[in-house]
Structure 1
Amino acid sequence: MLLTPEYIFKNVEAITPEFLRQKGICALVLDVDNTLTGDGSQQLEDSVSAWLDTMRAAGVSLTIVSNNTAKRVRPFAERIGLAWVPLACKPLPVGLMVARRRLGVKKNQMAMVGDQIYTDRLAAGLFGIRCLYVMPRTPHDKSRGVKLKRKFEPPFIRKYYKKGGTLYE
């Protein structure tokens, strides 16, 4: 189903180069808010910075795809040295199409990493790529729309575990 996660990770730091290699993934499309950093934050935790370094060292291509504006995404992305696509229109796969073209990979070689089922997971499903769903970094969402969508996510998380899914930590 398009909304049930394929994989659930405690956070981005739990995604390893070994896991990606096993799945044939060499490129990651990254969400920002509550995935790489807290909602609306420009701060990057040291553990996430180290994770980005590990991914780069392993040869994993990385780019940001966010529904936020360039004003929000640009300073964050430039500070951490990543290309970025703002106003991605997730769950529509428009931003993922742009990212795939820029990354120069096939769909089966890339995955979306994000914390929202109704944007990140759905966009990945509609585009035909895997989604590495991560638990939100913080329990607080500033957007009313995100708060509302979060209320409808638990049944899909439960379905993942009911089907034998595991939490990657």
Structure 2
Amino acid sequence: MLLTPEYIFRSIESITPAFLRDHGITALVLDVDNTLTGDGSQVLDPSVQAWLDTMRAAGISLTIVSNNTARRVRPFADRVGLAWVPLAAKPLPVGLAVARRRLKVPRRQMAMVGDQIFTDRLAAGLYGIPCLYTMPRGGDHQRGVRFKRRFEPRWIRRYYEKGGTLYE
């Protein structure tokens, strides 16, 4: 199913290099709002910075792919030292294709990390890569996101009904 997550993590910090290695993943495409930081925030939690450092030390390639504008993404990406793709048009897989070319990895070694079923998970599914779905870091400020969140529990429930587990 395009909308049912393959994996659900409590937070981005729950994703480990061992998990990625076990699944043949060498590159991660990261969402920003409610995945790396709170919605609209430019502040990175120390635990997320430590996670980024751990991923880099493990040789995992990282880049940001966001539906936000360069004005929102650039300062954050520059602060954390990541390449970025703004205006990614998720759920269309255009931004993921740009990221893959920049990362120079085969699709089978790449995964999307994000907190939204109807953007991140769907984009990953349409592009043919797994989505490492994370529980949102905080509240949503955009009305459209709040509206879509009302429909996400159905797909999360299906994940658990199929025997899925919460990675913590």
Aligned match of 1:27? 27
The CA deviation string for residues 121-152 of structure 1, in whole angstroms up to 9 with x for no partner, is: 000000000000000001x1011100000000
| TM-score when normalising by structure 2 | 1.00
SS in 1 for 2:39: coil
Aligned match of 2:154? 155
The CA deviation string for residues 20-54 of structure 1, in whole angstroms up to 9 with x for no partner, is: 00000000000000000000000000000000000
Aligned match of 1:66? 66
Instruction: Output the CA distance in 2 between the equivalents of 1:106 and 1:121.
Output: 19
Aligned match of 1:165? 164
Instruction: Output the CA distance in 2 between the equivalents of 1:106 and 1:168.
Output: 25
- Residues 114-129 of structure 1: pairs in structure 2 closer than 5 A: 114-129=114-129
The Cα RMSD (Å) is 0.2
Aligned match of 1:141? 140
Consecutive unaligned residues of structure 1, counting only runs of 5 or more, are none
SS in 2 for 1:75: helix
SS in 1 for 2:163: coil
- Residues 34-53 of structure 1: pairs in structure 2 closer than 5 A: 34-53=34-53
Consecutive unaligned residues of structure 2, counting only runs of 5 or more, are none
Identical-pair percentage: 78
| TM-score when normalising by structure 1 | 0.99
| C-alpha displacement of 1:81 | 0.2
Aligned match of 2:14? 14
SS in 2 for 1:24: coil
- Alignment-mate amino acid for residue 11 of structure 1: S
Instruction: Output the CA distance in 2 between the equivalents of 1:127 and 1:145.
Output: 23
The number of residue pairs the alignment matches comes to: 168
Instruction: Output the CA distance in 2 between the equivalents of 1:102 and 1:14.
Output: 26
Runs (4+) of structure 1 exceeding 2 A deviation are none
